[in-house]
Structure 1
Amino acid sequence: MEPPVHNRPQSHKMAPVYKVAVIQMHPKPMQIEKNFAKAADFIRAASQQQAQLAVLPEYHLLNWVPQDPKFRAACGQWETYLNKYRSLAKECNINLVPGTIVELHDAGTDNERLLNVAYFITNTGEIAGRYVKKNLWGPIERDHLSSSSMVPHPVFDTPLGKVGLLICWDLAFPEAWRELIAKGAKMIIVPTFWTLSDCSPAGLAVNPVAEGLFLDSMLTARCFENTCAVIFANAGGPPGKGYAGRSQVCVPYAGALTRLGSCAEGMAVVDLDMKIVEDAEENYQVRADLARTDWHYEYRHSKRDTKI
C-alpha cells in the first residue's frame, strides 16, 4: 500500500540562488605560504566559475600541529594572511570564509592566547563577521586554544543574507544552531578539520568510518531541524591517513546537494537555491515557533558575556 501523499505548502517568497564553492584541502604542516598559494588557486578557480562564495577548511594554513616549536610564532602572522584574503576577495569579486586562522594575541605576556577564528569576508574585501571557536575538542585543543566561552553566537549581515559561522566540533551542539537561527541566520557555514581517527577505539571497532556516518547524519539533521542551508568544508588528505573529508552543501528536503570524497583534495561548485529553505520553513515552522513570545525553550547564555 502506498503511503499517503501530503501536499506541503510552499512559500511564495522570492528567494535567491547562490553559486557556492566548497573547497577540500590537505594542509601541509607548517607550510603556510604553500598552503595559502593552493587556497588562492582554488579561490580563483571558483571565481572563474562565477561562484559568489568560497569556503575553506579549518586549520588550512598550518594544519593542526601545536606541538611544533614554531607553531605559535607562525600563528603570529595571522593578520598578514587575513589581509591577503581580503585583497583576494576584492580581486576575485567573491565572498570568502577562509576556513579558520589561528591567531596569537598578546604574545609574551601573561595574557598570551591562541584563538581559532573564522571570518566572513565580502566580495569588496570588508570583514562582515568574525567568530571565535567556542566548543573546543578535548585536550587536543583545550590545552592550546582559548574558547569564546559565554560570548553569544553572532549572526552577520552579508551579501548572501544573514549568515552564522560555526567551527568543527561546534556542529555537535544543537544549542549553537538554535541560537543562530533564532537571530535570523538562514545559512550556516562550518569550516572543519574532522578526521576518522577522532573516534575512540571502541567506536572504530564497531565502524571504522563511524565519524563519516556522524557527519553525514548530523549535517542532514541540522539543515532539516533548523530550516537552514549548511556549507561544510572539511580537510581531506592521502588515503589511509584518517581524513574524513565529506565537504558538502546541505539543504532541507534534498540533503547534500554535493559531497566530496573522504580523501581527495578538490572543489565542488553548486547552485544553492534558498527557496528550498523558505519552503522548508513554511512547512516546519521552526523559526516561527522560536519567535513566539510564549515559546517554551530559551537559547541564551545565563552568565554575563565575556570579551576575548
Structure 2
Amino acid sequence: MTVQVEGLDFPDLVVASVQMEPHVGHTAANVARSVQLIEEAAAQGASIVVLPELANSGYVFASRAEAFALAEPVPDGPSTQAWADAARRCNVHVVAGIAEREDDRLYNAAAVLGPRGWLGTYRKLHLWGDEHLFFEPGNKGLPVFHTELGRLGVVICYDGWFPEAYRLLAMQGVDIVCMPTNWVPMPQQPADRPAMATTLAMASAHSNGMNIVCANRTGTERGQPFVGQSLIVGAQGWPLAGPASHDGEEILLARINLKASRQARHLNAFNDVLRDRRDDIYDPMLGTGWPLPRH
C-alpha cells in the first residue's frame, strides 16, 4: 500500500523483530547467527531489523570480569562491524543490543546502524536486577536517530516500564521505537496470560501514538528463563505481528506507514494524545529542557 498526499508518496515500511537465543560467552556464534537472521529478514523485505538485548554476548554473566571480557567498544568492535557490514550489504537499518565497553565502564547498549554505517548508540537508562553489578546507567539520554525511513528511538527492556521514556521520545517526534529486550517472567505472572511486557508495549504505543518493535530472546541461560513473545505494536496500540512463541527463534514482520502512524495520535475530532497534555500543570518535557520538534 502507498498513501498519496499532495503529490508525495508515503510507502509502507517493513520492520522486523528478530527473536533468537544467544548463548553467554559465544560471541562469534551469536553474531554469526544474528547476521543470518538479518539477511533472512531483509530477503523478506524488511527495512528495519531489531535484535535482542545483549545479542552478541548473552545476558547472565558470572562475574564483572566475564562481562568486561565479553564487552566491546562501539562502533569499532567486531560485533558492531559485523552488523554494519550486514546493514550495508542488505540495505537495511539494524538496531542490535550489545555489551559496550568504554574505557573501564560497561554499558548495556544498542548500536544503531544503517546502510551507510554506524548512526549512534543508545545506553540503557534503567538497569534490571544483577545488571547493577556490571553496567553503568545510561548517560546518553533518549536520542533520536533521524533516517530516511523516519525518526527512530530506542529503549531496552526494563526502560519499557517507565512511561516517561516513551513520552519523551514521542515529544521528540519519534515514529518507531526499537526495543532490544531480554524479558523474564514477572512475579505472579499467570501461566495462561501474555507477558506483562507485551501489555506495557501496547499501552505505551497507544498512549503516545507511535510504533514499538520489541525483539526478545528465548531459552534458559544459567538458570534464568526468558519468555520470548516478541511483538510489533502499531501506533494505535494493537499488535501488528506476534506475540511470537515462548521458546522458538522467529522473525516477525509488519508493515508500518509513517503518515498513518502520526495520524494515530488523533483519537477523534476532539482528542490528540500529545496535544491534550496539561502542560500548564506539568513540564511538557519532564524537566529535560529539550526543545519541542516541529512535526
TM-score of Structure 1 vs Structure 2, range by shorter chain: 0.7 to 0.9
* Whole-Å separation in 1 of the counterparts to 2:10 and 2:234: 14
Task: Name the residue aligned to 1:286.
Answer: 273
Tell me, yes or no, if the aligned pair for 2:210 and 2:236 is still in contact at 8 Å: no
Q: Does residue 1:175 correspond to 2:167, yes or no? A: no
Amino acid at match of 1:173: F
CA displacement, residues 227-265 of structure 1 (integer Å, 9 cap, x when unaligned): 001101011226x97321111110144611111111111
Indicate how the Cα distance of structure 1 residues 262 and 81 shifts in structure 2: closer, same or farther if over 3 A, else same. same
Shift of 1:130: 1.6
Q: Does 1:269 align with 2:253?
A: yes
Runs of at least 5 residues in structure 1 that lack an aligned partner in the other structure: 1-10, 107-111, 304-308
1:26-175 aligned at under 5 Å gives the runs 26-68=21-63, 69-76=65-72, 79-98=77-96, 100-106=97-103, 112-125=104-117, 127-138=118-129, 140-149=130-139, 151-175=140-164
Partners of 2:192 and 2:69 in 1: CA distance:
35
Equivalent in the alignment of 1:3: none
For residues 26-72 of structure 1, give each alpha carbon's deviation from its aligned partner in whole angstroms, at most 9, with x where no partner exists.
Answer: 11121111111110111111121121111100011121132155332
Question: % of aligned pairs identical?
Answer: 27
Q: How far is 1:75 from its partner?
A: 1.1
Q: 2:165 aligned with 1:187, yes or no?
A: no
Counterpart pick for 1:223 among 205, 213, 216: 205
Q: What is the deviation of 1:301? A: 4.2
Whether contact under 8 Å (2:60, 2:224) holds in the other structure is: no
Report which of the two has the higher share of helix: 1
The answer to whether the Cα contact below 8 Å between 2:160 and 2:197 also exists between their aligned partners in 1 is no
C-alpha spacing 1:42/1:183, structure 2 compared with 1 (3 Å): same
- Matching residue of 1:298: 284
Q: Could you say if the C-alpha distance between residues 136 and 241 of structure 1 is closer, same or farther in structure 2, counting changes exceeding 3 Å?
A: closer
Partner of residue 25 from structure 1, selected from 8, 17, 20:
20
Mapped partners of 1:209, 1:64: distance in 2: 26
> Structure 1-normalised TM-score?
0.81
Structure with greater contact order relative to length (CA < 8 Å, sep ≥ 6): 1
Question: Structure 2 regions of 5+ residues with no counterpart?
Answer: 290-295
The verdict on how the C-alpha distance between 1:154 and 1:241 changes in structure 2, with shifts beyond 3 A counting, is closer
Query: Taking structure 2 as the reference length, what is the TM-score of the superposition?
Result: 0.84
- Kept in 2, the 8 Å contact 1:25–1:266? The answer is yes
Per the alignment, residue 292 of structure 2 pairs with: none
CA-based RMSD of the aligned residues comes to 2.6
Q: What letter matches 2:238 in structure 1?
A: G
Alignment match, 1:250: 233
SS in 1 for 2:119: strand
Change (3 A) 1:87 1:293: same
Distance in 1 separating the partners of 2:91 and 2:159: 29
Contact 1:32–1:61 (CA under 8 A) maintained in structure 2 = yes
Deviation track 1:130-175 (CA, whole Å, cap 9, x = no partner) reads 211100013x1111100125x5311120122111110100000001
Q: Summarize the Cα distance change of 1:249–1:242 in structure 2 as closer, same or farther, 3 Å threshold.
A: same
C-alpha displacement at 1:101, in angstroms?
0.9
Contact 1:245 1:263 in 2 (8 A): yes
Aligned AA (2:12)? V
Aligned mates of 1:209, 1:56 — CA distance in 2: 26
Q: Which amino acid aligns with 1:130?
A: T
SS at match of 2:195: helix
* CA offset digits 1:67-125 (Å, max 9, x no partner): 15533212146612111211111111111112x1111222xxxxx21111112211222
